[in-house]
Amino acid sequence: MNVTINVNGEDRVLDVTGHESLLSVLRNDLELPGTKDACEQGECGSCTVVFDGEAVCSCLVMAADADGSSVTTVEGVSADGELHPVQEAMLAKGAVQCGFCTPGIVVAGSHFLETNPHPSEPEIREALSGNICRCTGYGAILRAFETVTGEGS
Amino acid sequence: MDFIAAHDLDEALAAKAHQPDALLLAGGTDLMVEINLAHHRPSSVLSLRRVEELQELTAGRIGAGVTWARLERNGHRGLAQAARTVGSPQIRAAGTIGGNVATASPAGDGLPWIIAAEASIEVQSKERGIRTIPWNEFFVGVKRTSLAADEIITAVVVPEDVPIAQEFAKVGARNAMVISTVSCVVIRGDDGFRVALGSVATTPMRATRAEEMINAESTISDSVLDEFAHIVSEEVRPITDHRSTEGYRRHAAGVLARRLVERSLR
């Protein structure tokens, strides 16, 4: 079946035949490898995208069910070659180690700050609780978010 | 694979009547895990995500398509507390209460509240219309319910007089992204305490012996609470599995139930 998905502002038409996830078509058919594929169980958050206005795990969205929806991936977070403030802050605070969790954290975190621009530290922790960093670099990630929200320095 | 995206309830019921073996897809947080791990390759899938009738959320009626994220903000107190412990923000934005009810895991985070609130599960089919199944007749075993093949869960129906003193808690290895080791809901009303537990039996269960004991007491003293916790621990029927042991679950069930009774009195 043909599905049309608006990805980062552009309508893309795909032929979906089986049970593949949105994650799979983003990476394999649309060649957008920024969204990472790790656990495929919704546990790790590395495949987080904004799907019809909600940050979700793209591995848990059936591609066939995404017809008519709009999706923002990490490739769509920055605009006109300018990094998003979350990306700038993560660079400045050394919040990237192996980098595998980074796209998911950028998408989940930037989406969260749109609805809650001045969160407390526990709110940031809770907002990022679905994103696992196996380098365990949570301290630097938290400090990066605090500089975006004006709490840190 | 056959894929059907229903746009309203009539369309969904007609599709389910025509293809009773179609698997229902809502938030995808259970079904897609099974599919990704290749445990399951359904030949047909019926998506309910676009069905407006399943999105209703009022005090008396929780549409099956209501997500945990919405319940966290607008649910009854005990259910909102439970919703906040489901998965992560990503999971709560997608997963629905109808999916939790349909999956009927012993560890389903929303289920102890449903049985403590004495809510009913409303299901519909094209053939037989609406059936409202009482809480104590719906969950019949591990991931088994009394839903018929041509039926769709449409809502959780909450009694008007559900007391507002409600407390939920669960025990797990961390705060986020955890399947409960034991979960518990206590609801305190004029008729006394209701105590429901998850992950301690094949289905979510009421601790009826412990309820009878504590509801016969006029004063809730420390010794009454000790005895109450002891009966809860005896009454649950947990197993040892990869997440915990029978003994720990018995202990934690008593501790949680006692703690929630105390919280409900504050």
Note the pLDDT tens digit of each residue in B179-234.
999 999 999 999 999 999 999 999 999 999 999 999 999 999 999 999 999 999 99
Structure tokens at B2: 């056959």
Report the pLDDT value the prediction gives residue A152, as an integer from 0 to 100. 67
Burial state string for B99-124 with b = 16 or more CB within 10 A and e = fewer than 16: bbbbbbbbbbbbbbbbbbbbbbbbbb
Whether residue B128 contacts residue B152, with contact meaning beta carbons closer than 8 Å, is answered with no
Whether residue B112 contacts residue B184, with contact meaning beta carbons closer than 8 Å, is answered with yes
What residues does B47 pair with on adjacent strands? B5, B25
Q: From CA B212, how far away is CA B113, in angstroms rounded?
A: 19
* Mean pLDDT of the B34-56 span: 94
Helices (H) and strands (E) in chain A, counts: 5, 5
Whether residue B77 contacts residue B148, with contact meaning beta carbons closer than 8 Å, is answered with no
Mean pLDDT of all residues in chain A? Answer: 95
Calculate how close chain B gets to A61, using CA atoms only, in Å: 6
**Per-residue pLDDT at B34 exceeds 90:** yes
CATH number of A2-76: 3.10.20.30
Chain A positions in Cβ-Cβ contact with residue B90 (cut-off 8 Å) = 42, 45, 48, 55-57, 108, 130
Q: Do A62 and B90 touch (CB under 8 A)?
A: no
Q: Do B1 and A21 touch (CB under 8 A)?
A: no
Report the pLDDT value the prediction gives residue B4, as an integer from 0 to 100. 97
With CA atoms as reference, report the closest residue to B86 among B207, A46, B103. Answer: B103
- Given 3.40.640.10, 3.40.50.150, 3.40.50.11540, 3.30.390.50, which CATH number is that of B165-265? 3.30.390.50
Residue boundaries of the structural domains of chain B:
165-265
What residues does B156 pair with on adjacent strands? B62, B121
User: What is the ipTM score, two decimals?
Assistant: 0.96
Label residue B43 exposed, middle or buried (CB < 10 Å: 0-12, 13-18, 19+): exposed
Q: How confident is the model over B85-110, as pLDDT tens digits?
A: 999 999 999 999 999 999 999 999 99
With CA atoms as reference, report the closest residue to A142 among A84, A77, A83, A90. Answer: A90
Instruction: List, in sequence order, the alpha helices (H) in chain B.
Output: 9-18, 31-36, 68-74, 77-84, 89-94, 97-103, 111-116, 135-138, 208-215, 222-235, 246-265
Whether residue B117 contacts residue B187, with contact meaning beta carbons closer than 8 Å, is answered with yes
Q: Where are the beta strands (DSSP E) in B107-181?
A: 120-125, 129-134, 139-141, 144-145, 152-157, 165-171
Chain A positions in Cβ-Cβ contact with residue B29 (cut-off 8 Å) = 42, 60
Which of A99-108, B50-59, B175-184 is least confident? Answer: B175-184
Give the count of beta carbons closer than 10 Å to the beta carbon of residue B33.
19
Residue boundaries of the structural domains of chain A:
2-76, 85-148
pLDDT band for B117, please (50, 70, 90 cuts). very high
Label residue B242 exposed, middle or buried (CB < 10 Å: 0-12, 13-18, 19+): exposed
Out of B25, B41, B90, closest to residue A42 by CB: B90
What does chain B come to in residues? 266
Q: From CA A135, how far away is CA B120, in angstroms rounded?
A: 46
CA atoms within 13 A on the CB side of B200: 30
Report the pLDDT value the prediction gives residue B40, as an integer from 0 to 100. 81
Strand pairing report for B192-198 and B205-206: antiparallel
Which of A76-80, B12-16, B162-166 is least confident? Answer: A76-80
With CA atoms as reference, report the closest residue to B24 among B39, B36, B9. Answer: B9
Taking CA atoms, A22 is separated from A13, B39, B49, B174, in Å, by: 13, 19, 15, 28
pLDDT band for B175, please (50, 70, 90 cuts). confident
A80 vs B14: which has the higher pLDDT: B14
pLDDT band for A45, please (50, 70, 90 cuts). very high
pLDDT band for A149, please (50, 70, 90 cuts). confident
**Per-residue pLDDT at B61 exceeds 70:** yes
**Per-residue pLDDT at B1 exceeds 80:** yes
Out of B36, B87, B93, closest to residue A59 by CB: B36
CATH architecture group of domain A85-148: Orthogonal Bundle (1.10)
Calculate how close chain B gets to A41, using CA atoms only, in Å: 5
